[in-house]
Amino acid sequence: MSHCCQVSTDNWEDVKAKCLTALPEDIVNYIDDHKGDEHAESNLIAILHRVQRHFGYLGQEQMNAVAQLAQIPLAKVTGVATFYHLFRLQPRGKHVISVCMGTACYVKGAEKLSQRLMDELGIHYGETTKDGMFSLDNSRCLGTCGLAPVIMVDDQVYGPVTPSEITIILEKYIKQPRAAAPKAALAVQ
Amino acid sequence: MTEPMIKLTIDGELLEVPAGTTVMKAAEKLGINIPRLCYHPDLSLEGACRVCVVQVEGFNHFIASCSQQVWEGMMVQTNSPQIRQARRDILELLLDNHPKDCQTCERDGNCELQRQAYRLGVRERLFEGKRKQYPQDESSKSVVRNPEKCILCGRCIRVCAEVQGVQNLSQHGRGFNTVVGPANLGPMDESACIQCGQCVAVCPTAAFLEKDHTERVWEALSGAAGKKHLVVHTAPAIRATIGESFGFPLGTPVTGQLVTALRRLGFDAIFDTNFGADLTVIEEGNEFLKRLNGEGPLPLLTSCSPGWINFMEKFYPEMIPLASTCKSPMQMTSTLIKTYYAERKGIDPKDIFVVAIMPCVAKKYEAARPEQLLSQGETVTDAVLTTRELAWMIKSYGIDFANLPEGEYDRPLGVSSGAGDIFGTTGGVMEAALRTVAVKLTGEELGPLVFEAVRGIVGLKEATVSIGGQEINVAVCDGLTHAKKALAYIKSGEKNYHLVEMMACPGGCIMGGGQPYPPFEMDVLDPELAKLRAKALYSVDAHKQLRRSHENPAITKLYEEYIGEPNGEKAHELLHTHYQARMPRGIR
Ligand code: FES
Ligand code: FES
């Protein structure tokens, strides 16, 4: 462009500035450091992990910033983010409930438990209740098949659980949000 | 270095093919057409649909022939009872998760899924299982996305990324819940989509379609909401392609039948967008000569293709100063219909309904651009029909297109030169401009007519034409990945272009997102198809008396009576526009 004009029609600086405010510095640096890599796009998952570690989830604003700063199409970013179960697109609730969908639990009625949880909380897997109290997830075998069917709240395992007991378990957390969580039937990890 | 040759057997026949050939391609050499859905010869391999499976000796599972390369001594069976059954099952499973609305679907008759289902012998639907249910995304002005009809072949994703460089689509989620769509599965309208409609063109089903404008045209034609003066104009590329929808051989121009069909539908005046193309040559040519003279930046980027304009605004906003400020031929023609023509006819522009027949889906958005409305906010183009939509309307109206007498465009906006006709193909805008620029620069009335260097379907064409002692470097881009290349050259200063023609669709308007789906044996992006369609336009041009835009007497009269000077004040008010950076910013 030999003779360019005075008024810039470019919006890159604005776009970039906005993106920089959406991510912490270390992630921005990480993106920058890996931009020249041969397969720069293969860093996407690593970048998203860092974002999730920092924010607890992948917000739209953050994913957009990743797309612009790493110059990876946004559709690809959100495609990857929705493909892997490990990525969360919503902030985590205060308590994370996970229904075991392993074979033993499944056979023993895990689906009924998950249905009950969805009904009571009004959310699906991967979602968080409006009040930010609970998130719902499912998992593979938790290694406690003897207790099937089990659910896990934060790091407490409950089992065997019947659908009607779900209400009781939830209430413990709702009533004593500040108190230490009830002693686990079995602590995992 | 020549590829080593590989010997293999397909269906008992021995053949030799270069290493790296796929089984599907090798079979084609023997005249065997293996069924396929996700495969597209001009896109990368996906191997998603598995309809193309074959049996290979020594393997107890079937192999996808589209993505499997041949090996020495390979024994392939493309037809066995088991293979036929497997393909049928695969297709049935696809259909089980697909709406059963073939009779009322827009793709009826040329849906690839339907065609393969019939061909493979699916005659009943055995299973009634869970079916995906998603709302249709109607947010875009041009493209409608219907994920329920999607079979996840990924062609749209590939064409958007590999041919257009837009990369707006991706698979989201996984397994049964996989959905193809823009980022976050948000509305298309808020995505980086540039509305070229190539996703519509390559979709084997109706998961992507143009936004319907036939309803509003039927309504206008019926006069139900008050009788309006109905004006229609047809883009250069339509005459080269609409015949395909009525059984004409590929590449047959059908200008006369097209005009008559429109008259039978009930339009009061039938004009030619070519007129706007001629006018574009004058305005853009003038703009170019000025810039060549040092008044403004070079190169001049053409602005006829709305897909390209959308791309520039979202992906390369810093290039805006280089773009011609000329409205597109469609918008110029429509504007003149509602001003010049309206005044001459003594009709209130509010009582005129303008329909544009376009090879393009992005034109639907262009027509609604807020900066291109009349002073009181009315659109100049009230409806944009794609070639497909018009063909359907003609059929629906019971018009026997093939046997129509040939009609003629009305005056004055139906008069055009051959330069206008070739606007419909890649390189055409450039050639049309050069014809006029050559005359203006040399002052010789009979400058060169044919510029071979800018003809042909090759993506990025470059040439240096010497006119009146001046060397002019030109580039012609079709398909936005090629535009990206040219823009990178411009940015780095590596190339010193003076004039660059930009068309979003590969092959230009003749291969636009709104063009008829090609016959079964051809593929949408097939360069042969583009060549045949282009040939039709070049032959129309060659048979015209007028070959240069500035020779068009209706244009001369327009300037005398109405516009005054090219690039003058009135010209700017009516024929020029401006652009701005738009969000979301695309990733290059
Ligand atoms: S299957 Fe649930 S704990 Fe093993
Ligand atoms: S055509 Fe081979 S897998 Fe789809």
- Residue A106 Cα, gap to closest chain B Cα (Å): 19
Q: Please, are residues B193 and B77 in contact by the beta-carbon 8 Å criterion?
A: no
| B352-358/B300-301 β-pairing | unpaired
Q: Which residues pair with B503 in a beta bridge?
A: B478
The answer on B149 and B126 residing in a single domain is no
- State the average pLDDT over residues B121-149: 92
Q: Which of B22, B50, B21, B52 is nearest to B34 (CA)?
A: B52
Catalytic residue among B324, B334, B416, B549: B324
Q: Which of B187, B210, B233 is the last residue of a domain?
A: B210
Q: Is B370 exposed, middle or buried (0-12, 13-18, 19+ CB in 10 A)?
A: exposed
- Mean pLDDT over residues B493-504, rounded? 96
Give the pair of three-digit tokens for residue B499. Answer: 């004039």
Give the span between the Cα atoms of B422 and B277, in whole angstroms. Answer: 9
Q: Per the structure block, which two tokens stand in for A157?
A: 């395992």
| Domain residue extents for chain A | 12-83, 95-180
List the structure tokens of B276: 């706007």
Asked if A115 has any chain B CB less than 8 Å from its own CB, the reply is no
Residues B196, B54 share a domain: no
SS (H, E, C) B289-302: HHHHCCCCCCCEEC
My answer on whether B363 and B231 are in the same domain is yes
Closest CA to A76 of B587, B556, B518, B553: B587
Q: Which two tokens stand for residue B147?
A: 């994920």
Instruction: Tell me the pairing of strands B74-77 and B5-10.
Output: parallel
Q: Within this chain, do residues B427 and B487 fall inside the same structural domain, yes or no?
A: yes
CB contact under 8 A, B580 and A83: no
Residue type, B435: R
Pair B228, B182 in one domain: no
Residue B435: inside a domain: yes
Residue range of the domain that includes B186: 143-210
A95-180: what fold? Glutaredoxin (3.40.30)
Judge if ipTM > 0.85. yes
b/e map B523-537, b = 16+ CB within 10 Å: bbbbbebbbbbbbbb
Number of domains chain B is built from: 3
Q: Which residue reads 């996407």 in tokens?
A: A44
B326 is catalytic: no
User: Does the annotation count B551 as an active-site position?
Assistant: no
Percent of chain B surpassing pLDDT 90: 91
Say what the pLDDT of residue A92 is.
Answer: 87
B320-360 residue pLDDT tens = 999 999 999 999 999 999 999 999 999 999 999 999 999 99
Q: Which chain B residues have a beta carbon less than 8 Å from that of A88? A: none
- Asked whether A100 lines ligand 1 (CB < 6 A), one says yes
The whole-angstrom distance between B448's CA and the closest CA on chain A is: 29
Would you say residue B582 lies in a domain? no
Structural contact between residues B6 and B68, judged by C-beta atoms closer than 8 angstroms? no
B108, pLDDT greater than 50: yes
CATH assignment of the domain containing B378? 3.40.50.1780
> In B, which residues are within 8 Å of A63 by CB distance?
183-184
Chain B contact for A10, CB < 8 A?
Answer: yes
pLDDT at A179 over 50: no
pLDDT at residue number B448: 83
For residue A13, give both structure tokens: 């600086």
Same domain (yes/no): B95, B177: no
Hey, CA dihedral for A154, A123, B146, B383, is it positive or negative? negative
- Nearest of B336, B357, B328 to residue B235 by alpha carbon: B357
DSSP-derived letter for residue B184 is G
Asked if pLDDT for residue A86 goes beyond 60, the answer is yes
Residue of B156, B169, B184 for testing the chain A interface, max A β-carbons within 10 Å = B184
Please tell me whether residues B338 and B221 are part of one structural domain.
yes
Place of tokens 């875009």: B140
Contact assignment for A73 to B579 by CB distance below 8 Å: no
Q: Do B451 and B465 contact (CB within 8 A), yes or no?
A: yes
Sign for the pseudo-dihedral over CA of B139, B140, B144, B148: negative
Answer whether residue B136 is part of any domain.
Answer: no
* Domain shared by B92 and B124, yes or no: yes
Strands A95-100 and A151-153: antiparallel
Q: Burial-class residue B188 by CB neighbours within 10 Å (0-12, 13-18, 19+).
A: buried
Per-residue pLDDT band at B124 (split at 50, 70, 90) = confident
Q: Chain A interface, mutation test: which of B162, B185, B312, B585, most A Cβ atoms within 10 Å?
A: B585
The residues, any chain, with a CB within 8 Å of residue B204's CB and separated by 6 or more, are B37, B111, B112, B113, B151, B153, B155
- The answer as to whether B13 is a domain residue is yes
Q: Is residue A180 over pLDDT 70?
A: no
Q: Give the tens place of pLDDT for each residue, A119-178.
A: 999 999 988 999 999 999 999 999 999 999 999 999 899 989 999 999 999 999 988 655
Residue of B366, B389, B501, B551 marked catalytic: B366
Q: Is B588 within a domain?
A: no
Domain harbouring B179, CATH code: 3.30.70.20
Predicted confidence (pLDDT) at residue B1 exceeds the cutoff of 80: no
Same domain, B249 and B353: yes
Q: Do the Cβ atoms of A95 and A173 come closer than 8 Å?
A: yes
Is the preceding omega at residue A149 within 30 degrees of 0, hence cis?
Answer: yes
Do residues B201 and B228 share a domain?
no
What pLDDT score does B224 carry?
86
Give yes or no for a contact between B253 and B341, defined as CB atoms under 8 angstroms apart.
no
Residues of chain B with Cβ-Cβ distance to A40 below 8 Å are none
